[in-house]
């Protein structure tokens, strides 16, 4: 094999590491691939780490120990995250997005790969330390952002359904009270989708009173799964207490349902904090 130059290794390493976020690659894996010495690869990784940091492209870290190696985690600085969310807020405040009944048209935003990827990176950044085994979402609108969060975390996505389906096998169904309508709804998850003792991160598009989120937590309880966090694209500001706690939303929406022109969408407070906790 022809000798591979550092330039080329840089490009290839970057592509491979960023295509599999949060996965640990051993240095030996790359040594073999590139026919280079470990010391050379170590230098490569050092240069990469600095470059990623300098351009705000994510975090490259060296994990020590028996299962150690190099790991890439997509990350956005708090400042970039705030700017990203502020741009979204601007867009969402457009009067043309207001729908009858005080609803806001969000679907396009929730389906643009670039945008949901950014949201997923920001959300994942808050939960790397919680080390979830999977991301749970309730069909349908939250699936894209939940998938992108799962991708950044390097874990599978699990989708709860509104009814059990023949192609999902034995399922656990629970009933929950939808916060906004007060109606009893059903949520279903295949028995084989998750396992007792796993850790779940809930990701969904919208939280109002938290009824659906509470349902997802109850569903995880039935499986013996520990919920390590809950994140949403948008939260409805309201005085009534939510049914769940410690959730994180990217944006907060204020609106007096009787006067839709009062609509205001702003970044969530935790994004505005200068430094990470």
**Interacting residues toward its own copies by CB under 8 A:** 6-8, 10-16, 18-20, 47-48, 50-52, 54-55, 57-58, 99-101, 103-108, 111-114, 116-117, 139-141, 143-144, 147-148, 150-151, 154-159, 161, 166-169, 190, 192-193
- Here the tokens at position 177 are 């009270």
Q: How far is the CB of 161 from its own copies (least distance, A)?
A: 7
Instruction: Report the interhelical angle of 38-55 vs 6-19 (nearest 10°).
Output: 70
The structure tokens listed for 221 are 């309880």
Q: Compare residues 166 and 275 and give the one whose CB is closer to its own copies.
A: 166
Q: Give the shortest CB-90-to-its own copies separation in angstroms.
A: 19
Nearer to its own copies, 32 or 272 (CB): 32
Closest distance to its own copies from the beta carbon of 250 (Å): 17
Least distance in Å: CB of 274 to its own copies?
Answer: 24
- How many Å apart are CA 168 and CA 184, to the nearest integer? 23
- Which CB sits closer to its own copies, 173 or 272? 173
| CB nearer its own copies, residue 112 or residue 273 | 112
Q: Where are the alpha helices (DSSP H) in the chain?
A: 6-19, 27-34, 38-55, 78-92, 113-127, 143-153, 211-223, 269-272
Q: How far is the CB of 265 from its own copies (least distance, A)?
A: 14
Are 137 and 203 contacting, i.e. CB atoms less than 8 angstroms apart?
Answer: yes
Q: What is the DSSP string of 16-74?
A: HHHHSTTPEEPHHHHHHHHT--HHHHHHHHHHHHHHHHHHT--EEEEEPSTT-EEEEE-
Q: Of 171 and 177, which has the nearer Cβ to its own copies?
A: 171
């Amino acid at each position: 094999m022809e000798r591979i130059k550092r330039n080329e290794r840089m490009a290839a390493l970057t592509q491979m590491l960023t295509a599999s976020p949060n996965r640990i690659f051993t240095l030996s894996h790359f040594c073999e691939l590139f026919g280079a010495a470990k010391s050379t690869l170590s230098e490569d990784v050092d240069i990469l780490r600095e470059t990623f940091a300098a351009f705000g492209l994510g975090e490259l870290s060296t994990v020590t120990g028996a299962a150690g190696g190099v790991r890439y985690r997509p990350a956005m600085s708090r400042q970039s995250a705030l700017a990203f969310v502020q741009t979204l807020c601007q867009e969402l405040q457009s009067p043309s997005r207001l729908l009858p009944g005080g609803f806001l048209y969000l679907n396009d935003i929730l389906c643009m790969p670039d945008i949901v990827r950014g949201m997923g990176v920001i959300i994942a950044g808050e939960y790397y330390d919680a080390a979830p085994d999977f991301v749970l979402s309730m069909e349908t609108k939250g699936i894209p952002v939940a998938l992108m969060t799962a991708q950044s975390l390097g874990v599978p996505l699990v989708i709860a359904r509104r009814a059990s389906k023949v192609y999902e096998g034995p399922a656990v169904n629970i009933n929950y009270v939808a916060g906004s309508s007060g109606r009893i709804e059903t949520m279903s998850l295949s028995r084989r989708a998750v396992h007792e003792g796993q850790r779940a991160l809930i990701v969904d598009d919208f939280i109002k009173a938290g009824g659906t989120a509470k349902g997802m937590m109850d569903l995880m309880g039935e499986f013996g799964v520990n919920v390590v966090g809950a994140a949403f694209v948008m939260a409805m500001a309201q005085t009534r207490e939510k049914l769940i706690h410690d959730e994180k939303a990217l944006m907060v929406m204020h609106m007096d349902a009787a006067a839709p022109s009062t609509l205001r969408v702003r970044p969530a407070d935790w994004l505005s904090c200068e430094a990470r906790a």
